[in-house]
Amino acid sequence: MPDDPLRLATWNVNSIRTRLDRVLDWLRRADVDVLAMQETKCADDQFPTLPFFELGYEVAHCGFNQWNGVAIASRVGLDDIEVGFAGQPTWSSNPTATAAAEARALAATCAGVRVWSLYVPNGRAVGDPHYTYKLNWLAALRDTAEGWLRDDPSAQIALVGDWNIAPTDDDVWSVEFYRGCTHVSEPERKAFNAIVDAQFTDVVRPFAPGPGAYTYWDYTSLRFPKGQGMRIDFILASPALAARVVDAQIVRDERKGKAPSDHAPVMVDLRRD
C-alpha cells in the first residue's frame, strides 16, 4: 500500500446531530480525507459545520427538513458543488401536492475525484408508489452517469452511499427472511447491475468478500450481535478511478458501542495521482 493514499469513505450516519461525536471521533482515528454522508436528517442551517471545520474539513450539505439529507466533508478540496443529478425524479407522498426533488444526491470534486453522495430511495414495499419511484430514480442515475463517461471516459467518478439494495444473495443474512421484500427484488437488482454495466465497479467487494460482509444491521431483534445484516452501502468507481484502488474495507466496529448508526462506514484507499 502507498504511504499516503487518498482515503474516501461513505457512511449513512442516521442523523448527524445525534451521531456527531461518533463521526468526528472516527474521522480523527481513521485519517479519512473525504467522507460522504447520508441520512443527515437536518436542514442546511442545522448541519453542524463548525466542528468539521475545526477538524480541517470543508462541508457541503443538502437537506430540506428532518428527512433524508446528504453531505460531503473534505480536507482535500471541495469544488464544483452540485445538488442533484440531471433527470433526478421528483417525489411527493401527497398526490395533490407538487412533487419535488428530495435531498438524495450531492456532488463535489475533491482532489480531482468527482464524489457523489447518494441516498437511494428505500422503496418501502414491492408495488408501492415509492418502489416505482426508486426504480425510476436508479434508471435516471444510470442514464446520467453513463453520459458522464461517454463525454469523458477518463473521468474520476465515485458513486457512493446507501443504495438500499442487496445485489446478491450473499449480501443478506437470510434469503428466505427477505423473500418478497424490497432491497432484494429482481427489478432492484437489475437496476443496480445496470449501473455496474455502465462501467461503475464495486471496488469494495474484492477486499470484503461475502457472505457476511454486511454494512447495515437493523436495531431490532439483536440483528448486529447475531450477524444478521445486509450489504447495501457501496462505493462504485469509474474505470479510471477503479484503477487507483489499493485497499478497501467495511468498518464493522463502528456499528458497536453506544448509540451507533445502524450502518457501518465503508472506505477505499486510492493511489494518489
Answer yes or no: are the C-beta atoms of 174 and 50 closer than 8 Å: no
List the alpha helices (DSSP H) in the chain: 16-30, 49-54, 129-151, 175-178, 186-197, 239-242
Q: Which of 202, 214, 263, 269 is catalytic?
A: 263
DSSP annotation of 88: P
Q: Which of 61, 131, 162, 202 is catalytic?
A: 162
| 130 among known catalytic residues | no
Q: Which helix (H) or strand (E) holds 249?
A: strand 245-250
| 133 among known catalytic residues | no
Q: Give the bridge partners for 107, in sequence order.
A: 82, 116
> Which CA distances in Å does 79 have to 88, 156, 272?
21, 14, 18
Q: Name the nearest CA neighbour of 159 among 210, 132, 209, 195.
A: 195
| 3 among known catalytic residues | no
Binding-site residues for Mg(2+) sit at: 12, 39, 162, 164, 262-263
> Which CA distances in Å does 250 have to 41, 49, 192?
23, 26, 19
Q: Which of 57, 119, 214, 216 is catalytic?
A: 119
Answer yes or no: are the C-beta atoms of 38 and 103 closer than 8 Å: no
Longest dimension (CA), the chain: 56
Binding-site residues sit at: 12, 39, 162, 164, 262-263
Q: Which active-site residues does the annotation give? A: 119, 162, 263
